[in-house]
Structures are given as structure tokens and as C-alpha cells.
Amino acid sequence: MSEPSARARRLLTSVLVLLAAVFLALGTWQVQRLFWKRDLIARVESRVHAEPVAAPARAGWPAISTERDEYRRVTAIGLFQHDKTVLVQAVTERGAGFWVLTPLRLADDTTVLVNRGFVPADRRAPADRAGSELAAGPVAVTGLLRLSEPGGGFLRANDPTGERWFSRDVAAIAAAKGLSDVAPYFIDADATPNPGGLPVGGLTVIAFRNSHLVYALTWYVLAAMSTAGLWHVHRRRRV
């Protein structure tokens, strides 16, 4: 075997060994992610069907996290501030329309935004859904804790000045409506019927993309192909 051929074969061997190691590591990482995702899904399912707990008060706001708190079933009691309601564009199983987000002022003078539910586009104006306003006085809200959605929707930024909202951005909505001491989360109200039938609550979609098994198999197949290539190189060397 000539020296250039031997050098090329050593280089190819090194590359194949490196690729096999990298692909194997990536496959193992995806397996770890698979178990993490399955655990996350199980924990969320447990939260969704658990008895409701009091919504986190101001002292607990800094500790709120996605993994521990999102989709936790919570309850809050307060006064709705209907004059500060915002409509956020939404597409649901009922079609296109809006989420109705209304601030709920709590007894400790903090505020939590409540997504009271969905209204179709042709019922966005309060006058078009007569009877949907709750009576004055304290109300109890039960639903799922959701974290803020900053920025806007896909390719569409929120426009507070124009009252065009594409995501439930708690901080931006609070600033636009002059709200203070607002919780860093909102509550997706459950399916308890509202007066007049609107808004329609309980439409939270809980879905987790879980393609880690497919990714893991892909990386392991590539690792096997690299190993097969390595075997082929050494087999030709012996021949």
C-alpha cells in the first residue's frame, strides 16, 4: 500500500470513529430527552386533574417556573375590572375569534389576568354578547395557570396602541391598561358556563411535541452506518 493511500485510510478511519462517537452521543442525549419529556407530560397530566390550589400570591411570584407550575389548576377570588378587558386574537376548535382577558383584582390589591374564554369574531363587541358580563361583586375563578406569552404571535407583533393583540403578554397588557402589581402569569378559566354563554372557557389545548424517539433512532442508525463504514475500511485493508 502506498503512503498516500495509507494516510487517506487513516484519515477516513479517524473521521468515521469521530462520527460514530458523535452520533452515538446525540442518540443517547435524545433518549434522555425522551424520558424527560415523558416525565413532564405525566406531571402536567397530574396537575390538570388535581384539586385546585390558591393561585400563587405575590411572595411566590419569583419562584414560578414552567416545569413546576404551568398548567397547575388554581383558583382565585376577586373583582373583575371589565373596563380594562383586552381581546387577543385566537384560533380554536370553534374557529377564529378572540380570547377575552380581564384583570381580576384580588383582596391583597394584586391583579391577575384571567382568560375568561373564547368569543367568535362577530361577537367581539360587548354589545353583541349581551348578558355575558358578570354581576358586580367578588367572583371565584378556577382554571389553569399559564405563563406569559411575550412579544406576539408568529410573525405578528402585539400593537398595544392599536389594541391589536396576538399573544397573551401579561407585562405588555398590564402596561397598556395601567395595571400595577400584576402576577407574571394568567389563568385560563375552566369550562364553567359564563352568563349568556360567552366567553366559552375550558378550551386550553395541552399538547407537547415528542419526537425524541424518532431523533434517537435516526442518530443511532447514523452511528451504525459510520461503524459499518469503519468495518468496511478495515476489511479492505486486510484484503
Residue range 54-74: mean pLDDT, rounded: 94
State pTM to two decimals.
0.77
**56 φ/ψ angles, rounded to the nearest 5 degrees:** -55, 130
Residue range 169-173: mean pLDDT, rounded: 96
- Rounded to a whole number of angstroms, the distance between the first and last alpha carbons of the chain is 11
Answer with the residue of higher pLDDT: 157 or 112.
112
Residue range 18-27: mean pLDDT, rounded: 93
pLDDT of residue 136: 72
- The helix/strand/coil state of 110 is coil
Percentage above 70 pLDDT, the chain: 92
Distance CA 95, CA 54 (A): 32
Grid cell, residue 76, equals 382565585
pLDDT of residue 156: 83
Looking at residue 61, the DSSP 8-state letter turns out to be: G
Distance CA 90, CA 73 (A): 22
- The helix/strand/coil state of 201 is coil
CB 186 within 8 A of CB 146: yes
Residue range 131-151: mean pLDDT, rounded: 85
Looking at residue 69, the DSSP 8-state letter turns out to be: H
pLDDT tens column, 172-225: 999 999 999 999 999 999 999 988 888 999 999 887 777 888 999 999 999 999
**Among 36-40, 90-94, 116-120, 150-154, the least confident range:** 150-154
Determine the length of the chain.
239
Q: With both helix axes pointing from N to C terminus, report the angle between 212-238 and 3-48 in degrees, rounded to the nearest 10.
A: 160
pLDDT tens column, 35-59: 888 887 888 888 888 999 999 999 9
